[in-house]
Amino acid sequence: MTGTAAAPARTVTDDIRVVTDGGITEIIFARPAKKNAITNDMYGAIADALEAAEADDGIRAVLIHGEGGDFTAGNDLGDFAQVARGDVPAERHVVRVLKALARFQKPVIAAVEGAAVGIGTTMLLHCDLVYVADDARLSVPFVSLALVPEAASSLLLPLAIGHRRAYEMFALGEVLSGTDAASIQLVNKALPAAEVLPAARAAAARIIRQPIGALKATKALMRNAALIGVVMDSESRVFAERLRSPEAAEAFTAFAQRRAPDFTRVG
């Protein structure tokens, strides 16, 4: 049975695949040549898929994973650079994705291999079950790009792993292996890479047999969606300011020139 909400306009891109079968929607990052770095169009397709899954009573869980051995290298830096130059798209679909994740009521499961950079890690804070490859690499190097955390991660990551470990990841760009992420309970389980997606699919198949009303109520009790939304809004305002900063200009110029940024030259 399908909910009464109007179907959203679909964003068309070959870099996101959406497969629904047996009550489970899989959202697949499919840009392996770029380590599944996410463009604005890709964010639009992800948001469309999340909104459709939430509205459809026949879909009972969402599973997110990537193709080609990586989860995602995070936001496409070319998109960041365009926004920093003032070339802002008519709609930044990343905002839709974050809002959809903040209020999503059904179970969300992630299967993570390889790189999980930036939103590739912060997205996991909104997932209910996370399975990672033991050699996966989780990082949130926002400060290294002269930016700040997003996806309410300034709240959720310290809650998950403690202030000092979270600050180390944010401020120094420290990378967690999948094994380390499991050891500090940031994720459910670290496994050999070949076992990650099967484990996530098995968990999804199991969870959709549970009563969906009880699952939704439990998730609502465990997450303060209103607070998460407020934190996201605060982060977004500062993030937008930072994108227009001289430090961000230096970071993106250095990236384009394939050199290390020199932040001592800017305020």
- pLDDT of residue 86 exceeding 70: no
Mean pLDDT within 19-32: 97
Q: What is the pLDDT of residue 2?
A: 44
Average pLDDT, the chain: 92
Q: What is the pLDDT of residue 4?
A: 42
- pLDDT of residue 266 exceeding 80: yes
Q: Say what the pTM is.
A: 0.91
Q: What would the pLDDT profile of 30-67 be if each residue is shown by its tens digit? A: 999 999 999 999 999 999 999 999 999 999 999 999 99
- pLDDT of residue 80 exceeding 90: no
Q: What is the pLDDT of residue 13?
A: 81
* CATH no. of 16-194+212-260: 3.90.226.10
Q: What is the pLDDT of residue 100?
A: 96
3-state SS of the chain is CCCCCCCCCCCCCCCEEEEEECCEEEEEECCHHHCCCECHHHHHHHHHHHHHHHHCCCCCEEEEEECCCCCECCECHHHHHHHHCCCCCCCCHHHHHHHHHHHCCCCEEEEECCEEECHHHHHHHHCCEEEEECCCEEECCCHHHCCCCCCCHHHHHHHHHCHHHHHHHHHHCCCEEHHHHHHCCCCCEEECHHHHHHHHHHHHHHHCCCCHHHHHHHHHHHCCHHHHHHHHHHHHHHHHHHHCCHHHHHHHHHHHHCCCCCHHHCC
Contacting residues for 175 by C-beta, under 8 A, at least 6 apart: 137, 138, 139
- pLDDT of residue 175 exceeding 60: yes
Q: How confident is the model at residue 114 (pLDDT cuts 50, 70, 90)?
A: very high
Residue bearing the bigger pLDDT, 156 or 80: 156
Residue bearing the bigger pLDDT, 4 or 186: 186
The two most distant CA atoms of the chain are separated, in Å, by 59
Mean pLDDT within 188-197: 98
Mean pLDDT within 221-243: 95
Percent of the chain with pLDDT over 70: 91
